[in-house]
Structure formats: C-alpha cells, structure tokens
C-alpha cells in the first residue's frame, strides 16, 4: 500500500490516501516508510473499512467507508458511521493467501511442509521436482517483495547451474554496490536502510 500511494503522488495525483481498518501502530509498514509517504503528500485514514465503491457512468467517484473499533483484539464495524471519501481510482493493496491446493493440483508430487509452504533448496530454489524451482511467498511463507526478488535471483542462478552442470556456492552477488559506509551484503543490520536517502547519494556519486 505504501508503494502504491507514494507512486500515485509522484505520478501527479492531487490527493492519495491509504485507507486502513486498524490504527497506525498496527500497520505492517515500517515507520520510515510511513514518514516517506507523508513527505510525498499522501495521507492516512485509520480505523475505517470500505463498504462500497461508488461510481457514475462507469467511472469510480469515491468510497463509502465505515468506522471501526477493536474490542478485545477483535475488529468491529461501527453501525451508523458511514461516510464518503471522493476518489477517481481505487487500488486494492491487501494481503492474499497462497493457494497450496492449486500448487498440489498442478504439481501433485511437489513436497510441501506442514504450513503448506514449498520445500526447496535455500541456495538454488530447487524443489524435490528437479525441474521445478521456486521463491517468494509460496516458498518463504509470506514476506516482502524484496525477499521474493532475492529468491528469484537464487532460483535463476540454480536453473543456470543445472543446465550448465555447475555447482552453486556462496551468496548471491549484489547487482550494484551501494554507497560508501553502507552495511555490506549479508552483514545483517537492525534497522532497514532508508532507500531514498541511499539512492540520492548513490546516483550523486555516479554522476561524477
């Protein structure tokens, strides 16, 4: 949701908002990501849920929303609290469950663990089916896009190694080096890097 709302603002939207059913502290987005969205001019509407997408002439005109409250950890929609926010575009940005049943239908012999996650080699992404490689939510249980991208790189390397008859070893190499002083790849660090700040410095040094 954060990436969608920030890009909407950067692409010229006069107004862009994240509609979230719980409180700000309940959001899975990092604090710096929320700050970035705010800096870009996005706004947040907390403790509300969409009730209806409003339209006219085949075009979106807004969302009918209702306020929510948490009682003993259970989310409740408060009756009689509906209101309308005007929008001309609605982007659905919610989590979705992996379809383990579909995977088993497509690949009956594919090995899954007790969570319904595909069992694979951590370095190559190769499954128990030699010609099937995997990565992303179906293999890690559900993490971030950056994890899926990294696992995609590992799977690509594993596929190349299989065709070339090579052995995969060592970590995946970064596609480019970061700025001076940035944590080295694989070093581990407590807080995520603020990517926009890193990018500005990276591009500045490469323009010289």
Instruction: Identify the residue whose tokens are 């107004």.
Output: 15
- pLDDT at position 103, please? 86
- 94-148 pLDDT, tens digit per residue, is 777 778 888 889 999 999 999 889 999 988 999 999 999 999 988 888 877 888 9
- pLDDT at position 71, please? 83
Strands (E), 59-139: 59-71, 74-77, 83-86
Same domain assignment for residues 8 and 79: yes
Report how many domains make up the chain: 2
The residues near 138 (Cβ < 8 Å, ≥ 6 apart) are 98, 100, 103, 117, 118
- Cα separation, 134 vs 185, in Å, equals 22
Let me know if residue 8 belongs to a domain: yes
- pLDDT at position 167, please? 85
What domain range includes position 35? 2-86
- 158-176 pLDDT, tens digit per residue, is 999 999 998 876 677 665 5
Q: What is the mean pLDDT of the chain?
A: 84
Over 60: is that where the pLDDT of 202 sits? no
30 compared with 154, residue with greater pLDDT: 154
Model-wide pTM > 0.85 = no
144 compared with 196, residue with greater pLDDT: 144
- Cα separation, 85 vs 94, in Å, equals 19
CATH code for the domain of 115: 3.50.50.60
């Amino acid at each position: 949701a954060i990436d969608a709302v920030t890009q909407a603002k950067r692409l010229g939207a006069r107004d862009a908002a994240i509609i979230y059913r719980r409180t700000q502290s309940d959001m899975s987005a990092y604090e710096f990501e929320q700050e970035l969205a705010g800096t870009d001019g996005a706004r947040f509407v907390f403790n509300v849920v969409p009730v209806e997408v409003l339209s006219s002439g085949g075009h979106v005109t807004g969302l009918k929303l209702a306020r929510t409250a948490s009682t003993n950890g259970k989310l409740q929609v408060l009756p009689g609290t509906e209101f309308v926010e005007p929008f001309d575009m609605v982007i659905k940005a919610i989590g979705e469950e992996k379809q383990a049943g579909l995977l088993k239908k497509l690949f009956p012999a594919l090995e899954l663990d007790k969570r319904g996650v595909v069992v694979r080699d951590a370095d190559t992404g190769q499954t128990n089916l030699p010609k099937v490689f995997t990565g992303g939510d179906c293999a890690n249980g559900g993490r971030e896009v950056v994890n899926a991208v990294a696992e995609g790189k590992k799977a690509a390397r594993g596929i190349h190694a299989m065709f070339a008859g090579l052995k995969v070893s060592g970590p995946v190499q970064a596609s480019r080096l970061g700025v001076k002083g940035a944590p080295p790849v694989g070093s581990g660090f407590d807080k995520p890097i603020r990517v926009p700040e890193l990018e500005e410095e990276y591009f500045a040094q490469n323009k010289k």
